[in-house]
Amino acid sequence: MSGSLALESKLKIAYFGQLGTNTHIAAIQKFGSSSVYIAGATLKDVFLEVERGRAHYGVVPIENSTEGTINHTLDLFVESDLKICSEIFMPISYTLMSKPGDLKKVKKVYSHPQALGQCRVWLEANLPGVKILESASTARAAQLAASESFAAAIAPDLAAKLYKLKPIAKRIEDMQDNFTRFLVIGKTSAEKTGKDKTSIMVSIKDKVGALFSLLYPFEKQGINLSSIESRPSRKKAWDYYFFIDFLGHVDDPKAQKALMEIEKASLTVKVLGSYPRSEN
């Protein structure tokens, strides 16, 4: 990506959500304020913008330290040929905001389901009985709150400035160490750095010991797994894809040996990308 930054006068970056969402903030953190940003109403839209060449890279959320994996992001990698080029770990903090900026006037709260889940305890303690409504994004929640006198939104601080809302309470997330991991997706692979992470997708054969045959080659080669998630294939009942993150680059000799063994015991092995590890 550093090569692209040097060669391109204006990088075009697609991101999930609207102005003021955490994904928008993460994209700016990675690519700077001089890039051109394209909002995607859905995660699929972000993939399409990059696949069709309208954006150089896309930024999508993949997991939160409180609420877990964003499964829809995983599902989109099944059919897409895009590569993971980088990852971003960003601390997440939320503010309750409204037009009047008065907690006593709040009759309903809008936010994205992930944000609501991350602020659940605070909401129960401070706004018991208040109507909680899901929105497409935290920025959309701020837009809705800006149009109603008795509504509030849970969103990042930036949304209050963008949509002319007053903060009521800051840092309302239930966990202080609240992080979200974002992925940067593109058409080209990242260069090897020596401190890399690799993501793969595997479909295993339906037989006794299939999961063991998937995991044992990593243990045999001394490769550390940082994440493993399963998703239904949607092709037949009880058929799953496994998404695995391991430390190291796909070109490392040990990784090559492990992947060769896994390929023999699996139906499909797809390398989603090797990319620099982010220090969270």
Q: From the candidates 66, 180, 218, 246, which is the catalytic residue?
A: 180
Q: From the candidates 16, 31, 182, 243, which is the catalytic residue?
A: 182
| 251-258 contacts at long range (C-beta below 8 A, 24 or more positions apart) | 251/192, 254/221, 254/222, 254/223, 255/198, 255/221, 255/223, 257/217, 257/221, 258/217, 258/218, 258/220, 258/221, 258/223
23: which 2 tokens? 């994904």
Distance in angstroms (rounded) separating the CA atoms of residues 201 and 119: 32
Q: Strands across the sheet with 240-247, in order? A: 225-232, 240-247, 196-204, 266-276
Say how many C-beta atoms besides its own lie within 10 A of residue 106's C-beta.
19
Beta carbons of 135 and 112 less than 8 angstroms apart? yes
Distance in angstroms (rounded) separating the CA atoms of residues 280 and 277: 9
Whether 23 is a known active-site residue: answer no
Compute the half-sphere exposure of residue 43: CA atoms within 13 Å on the CB side of its CA.
Answer: 16
Can you point out the beta strands (E) in 99-212? 108-111, 131-134, 151-155, 166-170, 179-186, 196-204
Distance in angstroms (rounded) separating the CA atoms of residues 153 and 158: 12
Whether 182 is a known active-site residue: answer yes
Annotated active-site positions, please? 180, 182
